[in-house]
Amino acid sequence: MTRLSVNINKIATLRNARGGNVPDVCQAALRCESFGAQGITVHPRPDERHIRYADVRQIRPLVKTEFNIEGNPLTQSFIDLVLEVVPDQVTLVPDAHNALTSNAGWDTLKNRDYLTDLCALFQSHGIRTSIFIDPDPRMAEGASLCGARRVELYTADYALRYPAGPEEAIAPYLETAKTAREAGLGLNAGHDLSLENLAYFVQTIPWTDEVSIGHALISDALYLGLRQTIEAYLGEIRKK
């Protein structure tokens, strides 16, 4: 069964817009878990425009499900943070410092030596390492050669193309997912997954281990409430 990890960055963005500690990201993480989320994801960036490093330290001991930290390991402070708090999973994302949001996956072939060293480092501390990739079977093969345990498929293009034709939109993801499975990799997915397109994705690629969803889920929660929204996303994942 695919697990739902809720990315709580947008809750921190709302807090930071006003200052203070409302909404409280620690309470949000606890509520998400109590409402059925099977993991919590955070993506701290160097400018701390949403989740802050201090938030990560406070949230870590509270999470009872799975704690996933996403980020760019080219920043040494990110590596140090991950090694300090020891999440269940680290997802390596090559987002530039000035990127509004993640917008591409790793070239695991060109960056093989660097990523291999990182996978070995994190996994020597008991942290499962996942590499964020575009839907390209070569990148899945490369991630396996780097020693990663999982890949996370960057699903922005799937979400963009889904309304015009789900089968065409998911085709490169299905091919890459099959390659990942053949290489012995676990499979995660994330970016712009929503109540509109989530069920089709996990029905077509049922061996997806985890989906990480933030923007759409938190946006839906403004209308539906957090409990009802998490239940709705879990319902989409469980559709047959």
Tell me which residues are annotated as active site: 43, 70, 191
The H or E element spanning position 10 is helix 9-18
Cα separation, 42 vs 50, in Å, equals 9
Tokens 């997802």, residue located: 91
- Residue in 94, 189, 179 with CA at minimum distance from that of residue 141: 179
CA distance 185 to 209: 10
The neighbour count for residue 7, using CB atoms within 10 Å, is 25
- Residue 21 CA to residue 208 CA, distance in Å, equals 35
